[in-house]
Amino acid sequence: AVNKRSGPLLDTQVISKTSSTRAFIAGEGNHMSGEEKSKGQQLEKDLLMKWENLGVEDPTLLEKASGFCEGYKSFLSNKTEREVVDHTVPLLRSRGYGEYVRGKEYGPGSRFYVNNRGKSLIMVTVGRRPVSEGLRIAASHIDSPRLDFKPNPLFEDTDLAFFKTHYYGGIKKYQWSTVPLSLHGVVILKDGSTTGVRIGEDPGDPVFVVTDLLPHLAREQMKKPASEVITGEQLNILIGCWPFPDEKVSQKVKLNVASLLFEKYGIREKDFQSAELCAVPAFAPRDLGFDRAMLGGYGQDDSVCAYASLMAELDADPEYTTVTVFADKEEVGSDGNTGMNSQTLKDFLTDLVSAYGCEIRHVLERSVCLSADVNAAYDPAYGENFERNNSSYLNRGAVVSKYTGAGGKYSTNDASAETMGLLRAILDEAGVTWQVGELGKVDNGGGGTIAMYMSAHNIDTVDIGVPVLSMHSPYEVVSKADVYMLYRAILAFFNSPRSK
């Protein structure tokens, strides 16, 4: 096998024989090729890791990665979990997937999906091996940090109209002011009908904004800690300033906005109480850098892993049955019936394997899961927050995270050596470039993924993703080559005949 991170692996037969090992270290035998190497150089090549930029490894890779990422840009334009599901289901159907029929025994090559409330999705390709031998699962999440509307969001103050919000997920609140925002979601009207909202994405649409204080008057504001520069209750979205033309009305601007919403969407103010609406950055995904080797956009945590998983699912020709999961609610703890901290996936898998006469617990203990989520890319501007030897870097391939969590390894799945060894063998055999990474220095914080919820079902689980700069900001950055390598990694995992 060839380890793409460090060159050819040391021959295990050489290691097992003391005399041969001594000869190797002494420089005997034919270990030289091309330019003569010293004993130390040869040992360094064979025993130590050497990290290479993907562009050095393969200068042609950027063209392949850029082509792959054109589809990703389109996928990334879906900025809520509902929009991702709505985008994905027609694609699945065009590729031969049908809706799952409970109790049906599907044959090898069959493809089907489960749509959970329009907010999470499970996709399956039946493999050639019996389901009893285990599943190959790739699970990512399709929600991202944002500004959710409060149940009573619409108000007027000093002839300005606003929506009140409650931020969703971990954000730096100050990053969300003075950024053009678009509005997304659904509203259930009084008559029970549903109306969709998506305003601010098309060039002719208006956008919205959270205001900030001018620097000339911000002397006291700038003395505050960053977490208090803008408070949660100040994340009010400016939506209008023009009054309704009626002198007898007290809140003229609020009424004018309400009349426009009713005219276009049939929405009354009370309808906000039966709605899921949010504000997200109105930026479109764009190539980044003179070399166009990076991609910038909102929501790449975790759309980047969702897209790579989806493409691997569509392209897989698997030995083991594949299960690809798009989960909701990860950014707020994975709770709720569309999050991974629910019984939804296990209930489905129970139905699936029972059709083959299998007990779910026996299948899950033979299964392996890739928790597909991003990691923090090393940023030299903030290098003091990273431990260089265990950080992930842009353009060094997919990043495998043995554990996430916070100081002391709290709230994490910690993948076993055997699980790491299995994934390592699969990736190396497929020629996939990969790296390992932690989420910053031990005592600097931390974060979690859905891996611990997957492993709670007795599934061997490990995290894999791509490094991201400016994670959880309105504009995250990834390397196109890393995205492509993540797709290749998940595809190799799906197609590998290796067993646990």
CA distance between the termini of the chain: 18
- pTM of structure: 0.91
Check: CB of residue 338 under 8 Å from CB of residue 329.
yes
CB atoms within 10 A of CB 465: 29
Give long-range contacts, CB 8 A cutoff, 24+ apart: 43-47. Answer: 45/7, 45/8, 46/7, 46/8, 46/9, 46/10, 47/10
Strand order in the sheet with 398-401: 98-99, 111-116, 120-125, 321-327, 135-141, 368-372, 460-465, 398-401, 434-436
Cis peptide before 302 (omega within 30 of 0): yes
Structure tokens at 343: 């019984």
Cα torsion 464, 467, 470, 476 to 10°: value is -80
pLDDT of residue 367: 98
pLDDT of residue 451: 94
Which amino acid would we find at residue 31?
H
pLDDT along the chain (500 residues), means of 10: 40 40 45 71 90 92 97 97 98 98 96 97 98 98 98 98 97 97 97 96 96 97 96 98 95 97 95 97 96 98 97 98 97 95 96 97 98 96 94 96 89 94 97 94 89 96 98 98 98 95
Check: CB of residue 459 under 8 Å from CB of residue 283.
no
Closest by CA position to 236, among listed 165, 150, 167, 318:
165
Closest by CA position to 344, among listed 96, 136, 78, 139:
139
Q: How far is CA 27 from CA 20, 36, 378, 481, in A?
A: 11, 11, 38, 37
Q: What is the chain's length?
A: 500
Indicate the average pLDDT of the chain.
Answer: 92
**Rounded to an integer, what distance in angstroms lies between the CA atom of residue 331 and that of residue 325?**
16
Which amino acid would we find at residue 107?
G
Check: CB of residue 486 under 8 Å from CB of residue 478.
no
Beta bridge partners, 139, equal 325, 371
pLDDT of residue 30: 46
pLDDT of residue 500: 85
**Rounded to an integer, what distance in angstroms lies between the CA atom of residue 372 and that of residue 464?**
5
**Rounded to an integer, what distance in angstroms lies between the CA atom of residue 10 and that of residue 8?**
7
Closest by CA position to 311, among listed 62, 127, 138, 107:
138
Question: Which residue do the tokens 């019936």 mark?
Answer: 337
Please calculate the CA angle 105-328-454 and round it to the nearest 5 degrees: 60
Which amino acid would we find at residue 457?
H
Strand order in the sheet with 146-157: 194-199, 181-188, 275-281, 146-157, 160-168, 237-240, 209-210
**Rounded to an integer, what distance in angstroms lies between the CA atom of residue 85 and that of residue 378?**
32
Structure tokens at 388: 């260089």
Which amino acid would we find at residue 177?
S
pLDDT of residue 34: 54
**Rounded to an integer, what distance in angstroms lies between the CA atom of residue 93 and that of residue 117?**
18
**Rounded to an integer, what distance in angstroms lies between the CA atom of residue 31 and that of residue 39?**
10
